[in-house]
Structure 1
Amino acid sequence: MKKLNILVTLLMGGLLFTSCNSDRDDNPTFTLPASFTLNVPANANNNVYDLINSSSITFTANQPDYGGFPLPTSYAMQVSMDSTFTDAKDGKVANYIELPTPFASTTMSIKASELNEQIIALYESVKNTDSYDNQVRPMYIRAKASVSTISNSVVYSNVVKLPNVLANYKAPDISLPTDMYVVGGSIGESWKTWQKMSPVFNSAGQFYTVIYMPANGVFKFGTKENDWNGASAINTITDTNNAAGVSAGSGDNITFANAGWYVLKFVDKIKGAKIQYDLIIDKAVVNITGTTVGGFDQSIPCTAPADQTGQWVSQPFTAAGEVRACVSVPGADWWCTEFTMQISTGNIHYRVEDIPNNWLETLGADYSIQAKVGQKLYFSFDTGKASLK
């Protein structure tokens, strides 16, 4: 056990201990115990804790024995799916979670709604899933105590088993975004153009776009125009091969150290009562496939411009037919990130339709780019315009 002689005035719960100019045998000595007792709630073994229909669960504990005298102690409650309470290690997540509400006494009433939410979050983390099965299961509780005025004073209680706990996932009154936008210093008109992202076809909550970033370029995002969200709103950022050198910059901007063209993919999920945003970044690649380049078993990359002011250009088409263009997006098939041009307007049209065979059959001639041998497709993600020459 750890021991600490307290040789200074110690005020604790109204008791004043005073030391003399020299140490004395009756100085209070702090002792860190190995554990302390958390009591099992009444009827825990015979009761099903239906959390969504309960108000609270009350636990009591005996204060840790710090050497025979009271000290100002704070408590936190931890819940686990088994009795081991294992920390995160070797790529595995922790099998327990700490409840956010602290306590200042040895009587601790846990809000049932809070416990319900945390159990679901723990289950999803441990099982690596986005769903909860609403089954009765055993849960394990322990208390963590610490003295606010003494460092390194954390001690854990025994583990209490609650054999029958029913947590219920209740769908929140929110839904996945239907639109997403990006804005930045090198997107359209600097910090004024909100470039709309395209949904990944047949993938709810997934959006992508292509942008140019100069060295130390920055951007923000939103689910609507003028919805200013930055790095702090993103759960995880995956910078594939560290291509962008992405970081959280000043003003909460998402900052790219390395200049270049990038594809951004947002994966949005409902977590509790909030939307969780995960961002994947990769070097931008745009391909042509299909009849005009020799078949759908081939993908011929387009040439990127120097910056956002230029146009992407396809290779010359080797055969006549309908042009099939697509953005290479991490985790998505080419036909889920395909785009075409509306002939009458020159606007890029991103696929949101089911296309069994081709654009001509699905949307008609106005959306079917019919190329001749030797022609090229020119397009700009910055202006949203395309042309065939």
Structure 2
Amino acid sequence: MKNKLLLGALLICIAGIFTSCEDDRDDNPTFITPTSFTLNTPAMTDQYIQLSATNTVHLTWSQPNFGYNAYATYSIQVGVVQADGGITWCQKNVKDGNGNVIGREDDYLSTNLYTCSSDINGEEIAQCINQADGITKPEDYVDKGFRKIAFRVRAALFEALTDLVPGSTIISNTVFFNYMAAYEAIKAPAYIYLVGSPNDWIAPQPANAAALEPWKLIETEIGSKVFEGTFVIPAGDLQFRFYTYLDDWGSDDDPMGSVGPQAKDAPISGCEWDEKNSYSDDLLQPGKGTWKFAGFAGGSVTFTVDMNTNKVKFTVN
């Protein structure tokens, strides 16, 4: 469920190819830097909400005016309202190349969204509240009861997986739930799923979460957006893609949680192991394209997916 909302890492779409609210964009649109972005006041703003792993919180928002019906990426941020009215937003550490903490930056729910609404899992919200409170270990958790919790949404356009369109980022207004309680939920590394011939193309649907559990690639560090998993692959044609959350297969026009080497639902050419029994490329993008290694001999393979750089590396061990 966590990746249904991310980690998470995590799915960002190609701007200018698809539309976020189901309408095709006009040909040759003129980009406009948006000036307003509205997150709607939730209906349950004054209700008492005890968060749990089994409940959700519903939010809706309008699409910013980019000058055309752009395929925007939305990210949700959670904050805790303090006694003086200030908001402590969920943030994470920024590290240098040596792993040293050099600052802080805003942190968002782990799954990026591409439509103008979301049912946010209660566990993820609780994790973000605890993160804003500075709680990183279960033994540090203190129940603070019902509090005023803030939400806002960031919208942006991306070319390919990580190339931000300049001037396209905009933050919504802030809305509040006046009585919301967290629980002992500590953020864990995000994950994505390998789906393909190794697991007989198990459908990426919530009902199959248990069957796909052994096929998770786990984030190497919380918030790193680098995922890794090692699996024993049977002999035969090796063909696969990845899913950042489980909803359904997606399509060429709406890939949903699917990421691969191209948008089109077809294998790319040129997938060959090098002299070190590895393969790498920087083609990662939202889509139903697949990698295919014909006549794979079988064995243990480590899959590494870097959502920051669009790069993948597959290594036969």
Q: Which has the larger radius of gyration?
A: 1
**TM-score scaled by length of structure 1:** 0.34
Higher relative contact order (CA 8 A, sep 6+): 2
**TM-score scaled by length of structure 2:** 0.41
